[in-house]
A and B are shown apart, each in its own frame.
Chain A
Amino acid sequence: MSEIIKNGAIHADEWTLVRLAEGEDAATVELPAGRVIVPLAVWLARRDALLAQAEAGVLGVWLAGTDNPAALADDLLRLQLIAVDFPKFADGRGYSIATLLRARHGYAGELRAVGDVLRDQFFFLTRCGFDVLVPKADKYTRTQLETALTSLKDFSEPYQGAVDRAEPLFRRQSRKEAA
């Protein structure tokens, strides 16, 4: 079982992420047992059938960089887990998608970063509202992952507001004149 970082600590992952293989149909693809995170296409195709599982907290939905988070706007109170996929760590669309889910649409459930998730992006991911980081599979040993937790705290007082702290520094702190 892989490991995830949740609220700053390492936990075992209980979820299985389903990706559609070439030729698989969102409407008919078989879902594994247990807690699953399905692609947006599966959710949209089978929403009525999956709604009870989502509300029971055993089914989540993941968004790709091309997906519009507004597609989930009506389901945000029902969904307890949404994931955003980073196909490459340098593909930054997920930062805006997360920001929109949290700040615009008010999503308050678990928000996971999945895919090419590396420690040197942990700080920015967390700032944009991800509370669960799923490091790239087999990338880090347990020891490395423990060390990587320090990356969550790379900067103590960032300048601009973001999801984690909406107020920018100039509203957060009284900035005295430098001598």
Chain B
Amino acid sequence: MYQYDEYDQRIVDERVAQFRDQTLRYLAGELSEDEFRPLRLQNGLYIQRYAPMLRVAIPYGNLRADQVRMLGHIARTYDRDYAHFTTRQNLQYNWPRVEDVPEILAQLATVQMHAIQTSGNCIRNVTSDPFAGVAGDEIIDPRPWGEIVRQWSTFHPEFAYLPRKFKIAVNGATEDRAVIQVHDIGLDLKRDAAGNIGFRVLVGGGLGRTPIIGEEIAAFVPWQDILSYCEAILRVYNLHGRRDNIYKARIKILVKALGIDAFRTQVEAEFVHLKGGPATLTQAEVDRVARHFVDPAYETLPATDAGYSAQLAASKGFAAWAKRNVRGHKQPGYASVVLSLKKSGIAPGDITADQFDRVAGLAERYSFGEVRVTHEQNLVLADVRQSDLFALWEAAREAGLATPNIGLLTDIIACPGGDFCALANAKSIPIANAIQARFDDLDYLHDIGEIEINISGCMNACGHHHVGHIGVLGVDKNGAEFYQVTIGGDQGNDTAIGKVIGPSFAAAEMPDVVSSLINTYTEIRHPDERFIDTVRRVGVEPFKTRVYAEREQRKQAHV
């Protein structure tokens, strides 16, 4: 993975010095609350419900073992022994002290990490496919491009004070695993007929209050031009995006207001001046960055390891884990492993300081010292020998990281919600935990099959509820916490926004609501049909009817 050179390191070190000075001036009263806010946000520092929150950048979800250890060290030293992985592949500390943040950033800088632009109205941390470089359906490795975009966007002087936040995702595979259709800019790596690399560019996607699927602004932008093209998009947005209303300030609103064709015309009018300019990427630079993402030293192995096959046959528990948490790999004899951060009763995406250390050890022992973060809030060891899977499973089990539920109902995406977040209307974590507790039978979970439940505590949609097969949105009804349910949302190539099934529910009703939805599905599904497929086939109505009928029955039973 990418290693800083002296220039990268200096930029991060200078950032630490800058923010240390800003924090001191804030604490001394020289910087007002309003003046400090955008500065601290652009360093990922929020003032939260109970304490500050620090969001650390994990560019395109890539981590080294020494970085993982440092994250654990910080959790232990400056926080309460745990941290939280987010849906944008970042990491959040929930309880740091403001005055400690400069020192935390200094320690992160020693392992080539930072919190730059993890919040604020600027270009945020770039996200990508957690299976980059190892997936069988990859066309072009997105990681070098993620790094190139990271460097271009870091402290871009023209785009530090945009109308609103700006998120870029890069995908390089046939199947989109970076949710590029709901990003401000989605970059989809392609080859043209002649084999040249370029990008299909989507613009104006986003979740939040007004969920919108991004539209194609360019079918193919040659790689040399991609930064200039992004610059053209950002300039049009910076000049013309709305600044009068925070809820209408995202680029998606501008694109919708103008229409994609008129927006494209404006972008092209900018791009014509930028094309061929100094931002044009060079082969030397792409090669320099790409050299950091070459394959590790794989051994030549048989496609199927005999010992692995025997272990699968011998251990039901191992087989169940392998079925859900082990993925195929482009290299014969290797596999990718998902370490589940979705153990029942734990906040989805949470990890303890001890688990950080164990993950670092597992990565070093079994996966070339690297770890990836998924936007579903799990971790990936991308390059594991099949022959090591059993030992890895045993160690992961001991660490509480081997729940065999990846892609199943209990693999719930949830934002921190009202337990931590100042923006939340309602809690997320207890809802996730209550649903996990209801569906605790592994055989039943496997029978239900693949399904994604996404929970957000407010319409900012950090829990990506719009694109959950079942989406849950916390709403405030006269000061009480209620939950609106959508079904039919999806991520990936078939990205869709879920439809609301009806009036919202109290927290205590949520496990029953999910049960009603699942029971509807298991009764009417066709063979091999996932929950989302059934919803697509029959529509919302049968689900909605049953959910509210059974709710009425429960109410009657109680009177």
Judge whether A177 and B152 touch: CB under 8 Å: no
Contact of A168 among B15, B38, B278 (CB under 8 A): B278
Task: Decide if A173 touches B279 in the complex (CB within 8 Å).
Answer: no
Contact B4 A178 (CB under 8 A): yes
Interface string of B260-293 (1 = CB under 8 A from A): 0000000000000100011101101100100100
Q: A154-B14, A154-B18 are in contact. Are A161 and B279 (CB under 8 A)?
A: yes
Chain A residues positioned under 8 Å from B18 (CB to CB) = 151, 154-155
Q: Does B157 lie within 8 Å of A170, measured CB to CB?
A: no
Asked if A57 is at the interface of the complex by the 8 Å CB criterion, the answer is no
- Residues 98-130 of chain A: 1 if any B CB is under 8 Å from the residue's CB, otherwise 0? 010000100000000000001011011101100
Binds B, one of A1-9, A19-27, A44-52, A89-97: A89-97
B49 CB–A CB distance under 8 Å: no
Inter-chain CA distance A51–B7, complex, in Å, is 47
Q: Is the interface of B mostly helix, strand, loop or mixed?
A: helix
A167 CA / B278 CA spacing, docked (Å): 5
**Does B22 make an interface contact (CB < 8 A)?**
yes
Q: How far is the CB of B250 from chain A (nearest CB, A)?
A: 15
In the complex, the chain B residue whose C-beta lies closest to that of A179 is: B3
- Tell me how far the C-beta of A148 lies from the nearest C-beta in chain B, rounded to whole angstroms: 10
Would A176 and B160 be within 8 Å (CB), given that A89-B35, A96-B238, A166-B278 are in contact?
A: no
The number of residues on chain B lying at the interface, defined by a beta carbon within 8 Å of a beta carbon of chain A, is 43
Known contacts A159-B11, A159-B151, A166-B278; decide if A96 and B158 are in contact (CB<8 Å): yes
User: In the docked arrangement, what's the CA distance between A144 and B154, Å?
Assistant: 28
Looking at chain A's contact residues, is the secondary structure mostly helix, strand, loop, or mixed?
loop
CB within 8 Å for A160 and B152 given contacts A95-B160, A96-B239, A177-B5: yes
Residues of A within 8 A of B285 (CB): 170, 175
Number of A residues, CB within 8 Å of B: 41
**Structural contact, B243 and A162, CB atoms closer than 8 A:** no
Asked whether any CB of chain A lies closer than 8 Å to the CB of B80, the reply is no
User: Which chain A positions have C-beta within 8 A of B273?
Assistant: 104
Judge whether A170 and B282 touch: CB under 8 Å. Answer: yes
Listed residue (A91, A161, A167) with the most chain B CB atoms within 10 angstroms of its CB: A161
Is B151 in contact with A175, judged by CB distance below 8 angstroms? no
Taking CB atoms, residues of chain B closer than 8 Å to A99 are: 158, 235
Complex: A167 Cα to B281 Cα, angstroms: 11
A28 proximal to B (CB < 8 A): no
Pairs of residues from A and B, 9 with the lowest C-beta to C-beta distance, nearest first: A92-B161, A127-B157, A170-B285, A124-B157, A178-B3, A178-B5, A159-B151, A95-B158, A161-B278
B positions within 8 Å CB-CB of A = 3-7, 10-11, 14-15, 18, 22, 30-31, 35, 38-39, 121, 151-152, 154-162, 227, 235, 238-239, 243, 273, 277-279, 281-282, 284-285, 288, 291
